[in-house]
Amino acid sequence: MTTNIDLPLATPEDRLAHLGSPLPVAPSPVAIYVPAVRTGRYIYTSGQLPLVDGEMLHPGKVGDEVDLAQAQEAARRCALNALAAVRALLGDLSEVKRVVKVVGFVSSATHFTNQPQVVNGASELIGDAFGAEIGAHARSAVGVAVLPLNACVEVEIVVEI
Q: What is the pLDDT of residues 138-154, one digit of tens each?
A: 999 999 999 999 999 99
Classify domain 7-25+34-160 at the CATH topology level: 60s Ribosomal Protein L30; Chain: A; (3.30.1330)
Count of Cβ atoms closer than 10 Å to residue 40 Cβ? 7
Q: Which of 17-21, 56-60, 72-76 has the lowest mean pLDDT?
A: 17-21
Q: Are 5 and 121 in contact (CB under 8 A)?
A: no
Closest CA to 72 of 155, 161, 156: 155
Task: Kindly report, residue by residue over 27-67, the tens digit of the pLDDT.
Answer: 888 899 999 999 999 999 999 999 999 999 999 999 999 99
Closest CA to 2 of 13, 15, 14: 15
Q: How far is it, in rounded angstroms, from Cα 154 to Cα 156?
A: 7
Model pLDDT, residue 40 = 97
Give residue 1's pLDDT band: very low, low, confident or very high (50, 70, 90): very low
- The pTM of the full predicted model, rounded to 2 decimals, is 0.93
